[in-house]
Structure 1
Amino acid sequence: MDDVLQEASLVMWRKIDQLQADDEFIPWARMVLRFEVLKYRRSCSRDRLLLDDDLVALIAIEAKDETSDYVQEQRTAIRACLGRFSPEHQKLLLAPYTREEAVKEMAEAAGKTANSLYKRLGRLRTKLHDCVRMQLGTTS
């Protein structure tokens, strides 16, 4: 099964330009993985130990529902935790996701080195991660 995941990852890298919006990544990745699993199942169709196609579809539907709820919980926790940071820290946390050079530009504007800002960003990400874990009640 690791081979299927690896192949799905490669397919996603090759087809990443098909992704139209960042928030569509999970459904898109799920679809790519589903097709890779189906392709793998076809290649192993002679094996009597495979699950029935209807059962696989049912498992996929249930997993999607659980994943969707969890993703929504994560988003809510992230928003709540981001709200606890100062506007300056929020801007720094979100900068790498806006433009590739955003952190460097922020460093220049503040008269600091990019390295120092990346170190601060790392510490802020750790605090954000810990806050989200607390919000979700997880320990991993």
Structure 2
Amino acid sequence: MAEDNKLARLGEADFMRLLLQHENALRAFARSLLPDWNAVDDVFQDASVIMWKKFDQLDTGDGFLPWGKVIVRFHCYRYHEQKKKSGAVFSNELIAILAGEAENLEDAEYSQRHTALASCLEGLRETDRELVLAPYLGHGRIKELAEAANTSANSLYKKIGRLRDRLRQCITSKMVSPLSS
């Protein structure tokens, strides 16, 4: 009877709402533990399936984010264990330290950082925005842009570094004084 009551409180729609509400925070948490966004996609997909299967463990939606982070962290550990065979990866100790740091960031802070990043990206010229996003849009994108601009990929990476510094400063200023945006 208690089990039926629990399921009546949290159903499929609740799971989808909570997953979508916390997806950015869970992905950001996974990214703090994984080498790239492709790995995040793989881990998040696997973790989402497990969250769905074990969703009946939650009595209310209030604990969804910490509960989801535990599942994501476990899948990040699994990812690194599988990759150890093919080369250098983070040690379990480093992953635990990174996970602890990332868990301390509240969901609201992830949302605030995401909003600040979007605002700061909008403040860049279109060509700079395209350049700073290029490493995330696929392998070889920097090389294509370098060839189109008749410059070296190395010089573009240096420019990306400077643009990232600008974005970091912009985000920091918006996080300190969010009303000034």
| 1:31 aligned residue | 71
TM-score (norm 1): 0.56
- Is 2:29 the partner of 1:19? no
| 2:165 aligned residue | 126
Find runs of 4+ consecutive structure 1 residues off by over 6 angstroms.
Answer: none
| 2:144 aligned residue | 105
The structure-2 alpha-carbon separation of the partners of 1:123 and 1:30, relative to structure 1 and needing over 3 Å to count, comes to farther
**Aligned length in residues:** 93
The match for 1:78 among 107, 110, 117 is 117
Aligned sequence identity (%) = 33
| 1:137 aligned residue | 176
TM-superposed CA distance for 1:19, in Å, is 2.8
Unaligned runs of 5+ in 1: 1-8, 21-26, 37-62
Unaligned runs of 5+ in 2: 1-32, 46-64, 77-102
Separation (CA, whole Å) in 1 of partners of 2:75 and 2:141: 36
The match for 1:69 among 108, 125, 130 is 108
Contact 2:43 2:72 in 1 (8 A): no
Separation (CA, whole Å) in 2 of partners of 1:98 and 1:81: 19
SS of alignment partner, residue 19 of structure 1: helix
CA RMSD of aligned residues (A): 3.0
